[in-house]
Amino acid sequence: MSRPKQQQILKIEPPTELKFKGPFNDVVTSHLHLTNPSDKRVCFKVKTTAPRRYCVRPNSGFIDSDASVTISVMLQPFDSDPVELLKHKFMVQTMFASNASDDLESLWKEANPSDLMDSKLKCVFEQPAEQSPVKSEAAAPTPTPGSDKESELGAIMEEQKRLQQIVAKLKLENDELKSRPDGFEPSSKEGLAASQKRIILIFLIVAFVTGVSLGYILS
């Protein structure tokens, strides 16, 4: 009959969660503090379910009696599916170093599974809090002299552009009426005359708007 699994001897801080605070467009580091309160030497190693996402330093080693070690867990920059992040977990696995050897690889290979102790931690990802907009009269843009005048001038120039487009369209219609054969329709001559009158009228309006624009520019 196998022995029951041993309880973790190390004191681990934080005990259950590793928190990573964004933004996550750069490396984000969290820390694990391992303390050995026993009178024996302990060896440890840190495992994760997402080894490609993290860099752990140191990821294994020894902790002497009444000593402690700080482990840096560095999350690499990512833009990932939140569902995948929920699966990220860490495990701190430990055991008593039964001999004075510093050969960690051999110690872990020869370890009896019943001698292993482990603690699992889940990962928590905290997005940075959005800064609420600060309403301040001082922060509001201060109108500069002439800004209203420039706005009015812009509106006039837009209207001038619109009228010029209408004139171009009427000229095109006028050319089409001129190109029609005689006797096409009795209304064709009337349409030609009306089109010519509209062109003259809008041309006068454009000239007036242009004059107003020049007045603003020169004033």
Give the pLDDT score at 145: 53
Range of the domain at 40: 11-126
Quick check: 41 and 146 in contact, CB under 8 A? Answer: no
Q: Please tell me whether residues 58 and 120 are part of one structural domain.
A: yes
CA dihedral 174, 176, 182, 188 (to 10 degrees): -50
Rg of the chain on CA atoms, in Å? 40
Quick check: 47 and 68 in contact, CB under 8 A? Answer: no
pLDDT tens column, 4-46 = 778 999 999 999 999 999 888 899 999 999 999 999 999 999 9
User: Look-up: residue for tokens 């509106």?
Assistant: 155
Based on the structure, what is the number of domains in the chain? 2
Would you call 191 exposed, middle or buried from its count of C-beta atoms within 10 A (0-12, 13-18, 19+)?
Answer: middle
Give the pLDDT score at 162: 73
Quick check: 69 and 58 in contact, CB under 8 A? Answer: yes
How many Cβ atoms are within 10 Å of 157's Cβ, its own excluded? 14
Give the pLDDT score at 47: 97
Give the pLDDT score at 68: 97
Q: Please tell me whether residues 16 and 112 are part of one structural domain.
A: yes
**CA distances, 91 to each of 105, 122, 135, 139, 151 (Å):** 18, 9, 47, 50, 65
| Structural domain includes residue 94 | yes
| Structural domain includes residue 110 | yes
The enclosing domain of 62 has a CATH number of 2.60.40.10
Q: Please tell me whether residues 90 and 185 are part of one structural domain.
A: no
pLDDT tens column, 117-171 = 999 999 999 987 764 444 434 444 455 555 565 666 677 677 777 777 766 666 6
pLDDT tens column, 67-120 = 999 999 999 998 767 778 889 999 999 999 977 778 898 899 988 999 999 999
pLDDT tens column, 161-215 = 777 776 666 666 556 555 544 434 444 444 455 556 666 776 677 677 666 666 6
Q: Please tell me whether residues 120 and 166 are part of one structural domain.
A: no
Q: Label each residue of the chain as H, E or C.
A: CCCCCCCCCCEEECCCEEEEECCCCCCEEEEEEEECCCCCCEEEEEEECCCCCEEEECCEEEECCCCEEEEEEEECCCCCCHHHHCCCEEEEEEEECCCCCCCHHHHHHCCCHHHCEEEEEEEEEECCCCCCCCCCCCCCCCCCCCHHHHHHHHHHHHHHHHHHHHHHHHHHHHHHHHHCCCCCCHHHHHHHHHHHHHHHHHHHHHHHHHHHHHHHHHC
Q: Please tell me whether residues 17 and 116 are part of one structural domain.
A: yes
Give the pLDDT score at 128: 79
| Structural domain includes residue 99 | yes
Q: Please tell me whether residues 79 and 184 are part of one structural domain.
A: no
| Structural domain includes residue 160 | yes
Give the pLDDT score at 138: 42
